[in-house]
Chain A
């Protein structure tokens, strides 16, 4: 589980970040501004020596609240304190770059992301979003959830990504940063409401939008990425559960379908089941099922079988798809039957071979 920078900071310092709401113009904030604001107002990285000698490092401050860490005098050397002050001011600058100065919503999304992380870490996947993180009620309406994982280290900020997504999805988009290089995207479900034209299944449309998003981000943003999409949800009540599902989908997709960059929860039921089987049992299944299952590792055979299954075991369609003669395909299938004892034209054997192909991707076999 990756921690947010706030959690990392708390863990390094052995102290908690305290959040205090301070009434605007109150005596406390005036005092802090006088003591640590260096002629202005306190900000991230400001250092205040409290009347009792405690060093108060300001993590963030806006007109309504202040986040700080209290350290006992002598906890850190002077140089460490300076380093920390600089670090906090840089982090604040990065935050501002993401959201733009005074951009409340993005900071809100960041907090929402941290909250989702905390719920998943604590195993509370059914948790509902608290009112103060509900983005002004925007999480109450149905939205399409996408999970985006960037493969390369990103240098672009969230604002740039948000703009791209808004242009692509042509609607209001909520971008929730989760872990490093990982975002939850909540798009309007209006995308699924088509004005006339050819009927399309929601799954097909969602997949199409996700694939388009992948290509768009690959070429217009920073390169390769993985995307998972689920059916529309009401984020206020289901966002944690959905992030959990989408993460699992990406993990299973990357494991079982290497090379595919778009992952769909409704396409990986079998993969989910297989990954829950202990390694030893998987190995036993492989050894017992086919007399020469190593043949199923040959690229030509794998491509032939995967296409055969994708074409619903139709010989003519498979041959057409593979650009080979029907007889060539039949020859390959006959040879496989001869060598492994499995005839994929029979439903029972087709199921076994499909399972073998999937298990090969996740099972360490004896050399």
Chain B
């Protein structure tokens, strides 16, 4: 390992999530809601200029279900896990 790009990825804990919807309000660029109000995220890395907002969304989630995780990407095109 060593030497890689650290990227932030949004994860949602579907069990903890109770559809408060704050995340979609704070970060509409990256979070959509389904018809029942549960967040839809695509699992792609968070663009640098949105990381601060994503951190805020994670901090403000009343159920602590909205998580900002950091993954180290080795090389150029290592896959970041999909939204599971």
Question: Is the pairing of A and B real?
Answer: no
Interface residues of A, Cβ cutoff 8 Å to B:
none
